[in-house]
Structure 1
Amino acid sequence: MTPEDPSDLPGIENASPDLRHAGAVVDQAIDYMTKQSLDPVAIASALLGGAMGMLTMHLGPDAVLAVLDQARASVESGEMASLAEPPAQGHA
């Protein structure tokens, strides 16, 4: 699987063009920061902080909490564990 070919990802065909584009840009940013030897937890924390900022600027508190609840459910179900396989690509 490569960033240029996200068709390997399940459900990617249902993602909006904006989501696919944003996911590809984020993947490139992660790749760049990784190659700069930045700490993976620092990268993830910065991305999460930025995402939370964007969500709170554009969604109400209940919608943000719903997104976080879904993320928590994905972690609890083990769905996110599949993204831990090196390197995770196409998070859209």
Structure 2
Amino acid sequence: MQFDPQGVAPEDLSHAGSVVDKAIEYMIEQGIAPISIASALLGGALGMLSRSMDDRAVAGVLRSALSSVEAGELAEMRRAAGEPPHAANL
């Protein structure tokens, strides 16, 4: 895996994404609740990040993800997929 420190995605990101998508499909077919799937994936992702980055870098990744949510990028993805908006759970 080649990672560009300038922020360009690694060459194998698409492949990894496809594998994760298939795992999600499988878990849905098995009747696993979406929140359980998401929690397990997030926990696994944090574990993977912690093995390859220091805490400060992991926090930066999380801040970037939070900024995307706050900027409405997830809502836009839902709209593009034709999914209904979700009520705030805050």
User: Common fold, TM-score beyond 0.5?
Assistant: yes
Greater relative CO (CA pairs within 8 A, separation 6+): 1
* Cα distance in structure 2, aligned partners of 1:31 and 1:83: 18
For residues 38-61 of structure 1, the C-alpha deviation after alignment (integer angstroms, 9 at most, x for no partner) is 100000000000000000010011
TM-score, structure 2 length as denominator?
0.74
Q: Letter of the 2:42 partner, please give it.
A: L
Q: Kindly indicate whether residue 49 of structure 2 is the aligned counterpart of residue 55 of structure 1.
A: yes
Instruction: State whether structure 2 residue 10 is matched by structure 1 residue 16.
Output: yes
Cα distance change, pair 25–86 in 1 and its aligned pair in 2 (3 A): farther
Aligned pairs (5 A) from 1:1-92? 15-84=9-78, 85=81
Larger-gyration structure (1/2): 2
Query: Deviating runs (4+, > 3 A) in structure 1?
Result: 82-87
TM-score (norm 1): 0.72
Percentage of pairs with the same residue:
51
Query: Which digits, 9 at most, give the CA deviation of each residue in 1:7-49, with x for residues without a partner?
Result: xxxxxxx743311110000000001101111100000000000
The number of residue pairs the alignment matches comes to 74
Distance of 1:28 and 1:65 partners within structure 2: 28
Q: As a proportion of its length, which structure holds more helix?
A: 1
State the Cα distance separating 1:86 from its structure 2 match: 7.1
CA RMSD, aligned part only? 1.9
